Structure 1
Amino acid sequence: MKQVIKVHHHTVSKTLDVYFDDDSTCTFSSEFLRVHSPSAEVQGHGNEPMKLVLGKSQVGISKIEPVGHYAIKLIFDDNHNSGLFSWSYFSHLQANHDELWQTYQQRVTEHQASKDSVPIKFVP
């Protein structure tokens, strides 16, 4: 399993660079990390499906707290602060970044389309 050896937070661009022990690096947007938070609030409880988190394009990371030698806790400026980003979870996000982001964008588009297609009832 890859280990995270360093993280570098960019406050202006709202990105987080994650450096792994295999010399690979991945840059994650704060929005991507927020909507893919490993918390039960986002991932769902038990067998629940993953929640669709909307409106986070401007979210930032306000604080990063180390958790042992295996994870960090990201505290977002929308007050979301649950869920530990373990090294294995970062590795998963790196390996599947494009697919995860595409799936998220598709879900947002479908949500918007279903919201837009709600019939309006006119009552005389």
Structure 2
Amino acid sequence: MAGLQKGDPLPTEIKLHQRSRILEITFDDGQRFELSYEFLRVHSPSAEVRGHGPGEEVLQLGKRDVEIVNVEPVGNYAIRPIFSDGHDSGLYSWDYLYEIGERRDELWQTYLTRLAVEGGSRDPAELPPAAPKAGGCGHKH
């Protein structure tokens, strides 16, 4: 995560729109971005998602319905969203939010293409049917 440089745009407003699951962020240079919770989740700057180097990115599956349940400020340079799937380790710096806001369409298309190539889905995986319960000794009763 890059640090803030003098003159970098700073956010003047951050709004969570829970019904549409959109984070709206406005910067002091007039730029305004609407980033879906799903987009933010699959582009988390955390090591869990990005890996520890180029080519180690972990494709995020089933995040279509993810929500942001809370946002914590991190100093004067970032936010840490808490997602409904338990993910909370991504620190979204102002410069990172600005960059992904500017590149949103390109990044989203790259994500959708990778999902298609790898046979992934944006929809949450359905749980397999529960196995029949056995008695304590392992035999069905």
Is the pair's TM-score, using the shorter chain for normalization, greater than 0.5?
yes
Displacement of 1:47 = 4.2
Q: How far, CA to CA, are the matches of 2:112 and 2:53 in structure 1?
A: 24
Structure 2: gaps spanning 5 or more residues: 1-7, 121-141
Secondary structure of the 1:57 match is: coil
Residues matched between the structures, number: 113
Q: Which residue of 2 is the match for residue 53 of structure 1? A: 60
TM-score by length of 1: 0.87
More helix as a share of residues: 1
TM-score by length of 2: 0.77
Q: CA RMSD in A?
A: 1.2
Identity of counterpart residues, as a percentage? 47
Q: How far, CA to CA, are the matches of 1:48 and 1:105 in structure 2?
A: 17
Displacement of 1:16 = 0.4
Asked which structure has the greater RCO (Cα within 8 Å, sep 6+), the reply is 2
Secondary structure of the 1:37 match is: coil
Structure 1: gaps spanning 5 or more residues: 114-124
Moved over 4 A (4+): none
More strand as a share of residues: 1
Secondary structure of the 1:6 match is: strand
Residues 1:80 and 2:87 aligned together: yes
CA spacing shift, 1:47–1:24, aligned 2, 3 Å: closer
Q: Which residue of 1 is the match for residue 47 of structure 2? A: 40
